[in-house]
Amino acid sequence: MKKVSTILIGAGARGIIYSSYAIKHPDELQVVAVAEPDDFRRNYIKDKHGIPDDMCFSAWKEVLSLPKFADSVMICTQDKMHYEPAMAAIEKGYHILLEKPISPSPRECIEIAEAANAKGVNVVVCHVLRYTSFFSKIKEIIDSGAIGDVVSIMHSENVGFYHQAHSFVRGNWRNSRESSPMILAKSCHDTDIIQWLIGKECLKISSFGSLKHFRRENAPENTPDRCIEGCREASRCPYDAVKFYLREEKNNPWFSQAVTGVVGPSEEQIEEALKNGPYGRCVYKCDNDVVDHQVVNMQFEDDITVSFTMSAFTPQIDRTIKIMGTKGELGGKMGKEMSIVLHDFLTKTEKKIECELPASGGHGGGDVGIMKAFCRLLNGNYSSNALSDISISATNHMLSFAAEESRISGRVIDIKEFSKFVMS
């Protein structure tokens, strides 16, 4: 099997996760260069992968101005920084692993898809749910006909109160003008997975939702701007940053790395970040504007209907799904534990379906799964059905853009008209 060479662009949280695949599977992937402005992160990747000095760059423009020297690039920069490096990499003929969202601009999503198709390169969008054993199993059961024709789906993305506070109130995806609206940043995975499971086109969308709770007017009286400044409400507040980052999740690499910007920070570094950085702020006093709850209704071809709910106010991070077919119902939960149950209307039986719980790897095994699929695609050994063409990823992003348009305008959105409108 040919080893795939790749250039990492953006050595933040996601870049570190994807590139770690090369350490565990050196026969499949090699990180041959890195572009990252932050010295600590760039050096971290350089040391982990033994990258020579002249293959370490401080910005994507430097590495993509050179003649092509690897099979692929992994673009793991922030949401608004995907378009330019993606277009430059396509121009050079690189295959791309591209973090979601493709872009916060619907037009740019379509432009990337068109450019990739014209050049004949693969752009694999990190819709990691497709590569989990949970959703693969559900797809397999639907395609087997075990529940007959799919008629309705109820799907929930349970964000988790602490995850909302971390990423969407204090963190990188708190403000839609700086990153993306919630339905794109968080839930483009869900619109994509729903379309993949159904395998048909979405025709219409409507949506409601708002930022109800994490607002200045909900701050208790006389509380400081930062939790670490002796907030008298701390013991009554589920969102207290001191309790969370310095005690409960002190050793959680996801949170500690985001808060401090370094891998494996000391307690002093976390304390310093809570005094001065964005993650120490009171959740009621941030510059956030993304919604904390949203519902989306979708009508697909063949009269299939879907309701999707995203909410911050759940105890854990997980997803629940119920798929109702003409011959049976399929229910599942994907989180720390996974379960799938199939009800057969004819035999009136209930069957628990085995679903492999990954020993390691985030997103229910999807982070490792996508890397395996990406390497196999590039070395010609891919044989599954999870990977999607960039055109499908871009089309499925339109569902998120259309839902946001509906939420803001109060209108039902016709997807075909909406897609035409964004390109006009």
Ligand X SMILES: NC(=O)c1ccc[n+]([C@@H]2O[C@H](COP(=O)([O-])OP(=O)(O)OC[C@H]3O[C@@H](n4cnc5c(N)ncnc54)[C@H](O)[C@@H]3O)[C@@H](O)[C@H]2O)c1
- Using rule CB under 6 A, residue 177 touches ligand X: no
Instruction: Among 6, 77, 156, 191, indicate the residue that binds ligand X (CB under 6 A).
Output: 77
CA contacts within 13 A on the Cβ side of 382: 20
In the list 4, 76, 242, 378, the residue contacting ligand X (rule: CB under 6 A) is 76
Residue 63's SS3 state is helix
Q: Does 59 bind ligand X (CB under 6 A)?
A: yes
Q: Which stretch binds ligand X (CB under 6 A): 19-27, 30-38, 227-235, 344-352?
A: 30-38
- Applying CB under 6 A, among 43, 78, 175, 419 the residue interacting with ligand X is 78
Q: Is 171 in the site for ligand X (CB under 6 A)?
A: no
Q: Angle of helix 415-423 relative to helix 390-409, nearest 10 degrees?
A: 100
Should residue 84 be labelled a site residue for ligand X when binding is judged by CB under 6 A?
A: no
Of the candidates 393, 391, 418, 405, which has an alpha carbon nearest to the alpha carbon of residue 100? 393
Nearest-angstrom CA–CA distance, 315 and 186? 17
What are 164's two structure tokens? 């909302």
126 sits near ligand X (criterion: CB under 6 A): yes
CA angle in degrees (0–180, nearest 5) for 395-113-100: 70
Query: Which stretches does DSSP call E strand in 50-133?
Result: 56-57, 72-75, 95-98, 123-125
Nearest distance in Å: CB 273, ligand X: 14
Q: Interface residues for ligand X in 243-282 (CB under 6 A)?
A: none
Q: Is 174 in the site for ligand X (CB under 6 A)?
A: no
Residue 14 found at the interface with ligand X (CB under 6 A):
yes
Q: Residue 36 or 240: which CB sits closer to ligand X? A: 36
Closest approach, Cβ 264 to ligand X, in A, equals 15
74 is an interface residue for ligand X by CB under 6 A:
no
State the nearest-atom distance from the C-beta of 199 to ligand X, in Å. 22
Report DSSP letters for 137-186, one per residue. HHHHHHHHTTT-SEEEEEEEEE--HHHIIIIIIISTTS-TTTS--HHHHT
Q: Applying CB under 6 A, does 41 fall inside the site for ligand X?
A: yes
Provide the residue type at 352 as one letter.
K
Beta bridge partners of 8: 34, 74
Q: Which stretch binds ligand X (CB under 6 A): 8-16, 192-200, 202-210, 325-333?
A: 8-16
Encoded amino acid at 61, one letter:
K
The contact pattern for ligand X, residues 347-366, with x = CB under 6 A and - = no contact, is ----------------x---
- Which residues does 117 contact at the CB level (< 8 Å), separation at least 6? 390, 391
CB of 297 to ligand X, least distance (A): 24
Report the interface residues with ligand X, using CB under 6 A: 9-15, 35-38, 41, 59-60, 76-79, 81, 99-100, 126, 128, 172, 185, 363
